[in-house]
Amino acid sequence: MPSSRNKHTSIVSIGMTVLLIAAFASEPATADSSATGLSQGQQYLQTDFTNVGQYTIGSTANTILAAHYDSNHVFEQPSRFYTLSADVSQRLETNVLQTFSNPQPDYAFRVNPKVHTGVQMVHDRKATGVYADYSTIKDVFAYAPAGLNVPTNQVVGIGTYHDLIPFNGRHETSARLDCLVRSVWSGPNNHQSDILPSLYLARNMMLFTKPTKNNPTGEHPYALFSTTQLQMRSGLPFEGATHELDPIYTVGIWIPKLGAAAKPFPANPQAKEQKSETKKRFDTDGWTCTINSSLFTNYRDPPFHHSHPKQGNNQIISDIVLEHPIFKNTFKSPNALTFYIKAEPVFNFDSNKAKGLSGFDFRFFLGLKYALSKAPT
């Protein structure tokens, strides 16, 4: 008889296959973008569907808070993993049409379900894996022209990654190389594809302060991270940069469990020695803070002649996110409902005052996110 674990992972695999088929076969509803003067789906920012640091943050979190595997053991058996999440948020936005002058504020409601699943193998403490992604973003605005509400952004992709410097307790610095191939639908006549190689870097740190009742050790773990990506956009998958070329640079800091009591895990009995107290792993409650800023340099027409939109621009998008779990289980099976607050200033420049690519915009989110996931074992 097959085990319940195999049944569970098989159901997830079947579900992911159905989602992939549905995404490739579906055609979004027709939208009239003439009322807004924007290209179809242009109200979505690149950070809405591009991971600019999440993989690094997640791996860093596992390094600081809970180890996925024993640092002295080598795992050759492939391990499946998945994350199913649903994100529901509302936001206030000061310049919804991204115009150089006469900004129009608005209120928006967003639904953002995601599926991420794959298989990972660990050799010599370095993880190598393949994965598949599917996500949908739907925004509904209160006052914007009706054409802005119709486009539904859909993203489906496959990718692979390899740890250059493994994510485990032996290394305070970690690095991962990732490559994602995806298709993006932002409207009925706006289907584009990307090849997105990425290099993720993280540095685990420890801040020592005066011991308190909630934190008798006075230790506060945090992580610095950076990401370098090259988005090569085309009309069809695997074509390369035929529509546009977008280097993306991200730096940030991740601070877990603010205002919570630290509970150190037992030391690994197989570890030879602990070189520093900063190697301890923590399981805590409280707020998690992530601060990051990304520079997008978008090269479109010229030199590329099939860009959508045509005008190139530069863009800085910063995110300040505070998250707090409402309920959760263990790290091995994190079924968590999380409340979050996010502030997102957007700076556009070098856009020739083009509508949809200009001016300053500020977005303030309040949301709930539920995630059901299985980590590699």
pLDDT surpassing 80 at residue 343: yes
- 3-class DSSP string for 169-183: CCCCEEEEEEEEEEE
Domain boundaries, the chain: 35-374
Per residue in 20-60, pLDDT (tens digit) is: 444 444 444 443 444 455 555 566 777 787 777 654 444 33
pTM: 0.78
Tokens of 304: 């590329």
pLDDT surpassing 80 at residue 276: no
Instruction: Output phi, psi for 357, to 5 deg.
Output: -135, 15
pLDDT surpassing 50 at residue 218: yes
Work out the average pLDDT over 312-329: 86
Instruction: Output phi, psi for 48, to 5 deg.
Output: -70, -30
Is the peptide bond preceding residue 302 cis, with omega within 30 degrees of 0? yes
Q: Which residue has the higher pLDDT, 64 or 155?
A: 155
Q: Which residue has the higher pLDDT, 174 or 231?
A: 231
Give the pLDDT score at 4: 47
Mean predicted lDDT score pLDDT of the chain: 75
Q: Do residues 354 and 313 lie in contact, with contact meaning Cβ atoms separated by under 8 Å?
A: yes
Work out the average pLDDT over 64-87: 61
pLDDT surpassing 80 at residue 291: yes
pLDDT surpassing 70 at residue 78: yes
Work out the average pLDDT over 307-327: 88
Tokens of 104: 């129009």
Give the pLDDT score at 189: 72
CATH of domain 35-374: 2.40.160.40
Q: How confident is the model at residue 215 (pLDDT cuts 50, 70, 90)?
A: low
- Torsion from C-alpha of 207, 210, 214, 215, nearest 10 degrees: 40
Instruction: Report the C-alpha gap between 163 and 144 in whole angstroms.
Output: 44
Give the pLDDT score at 168: 60
Q: What is each CA distance from 100 to 20, 79, 110, 145, 246, in whole angstroms?
A: 38, 50, 25, 18, 22
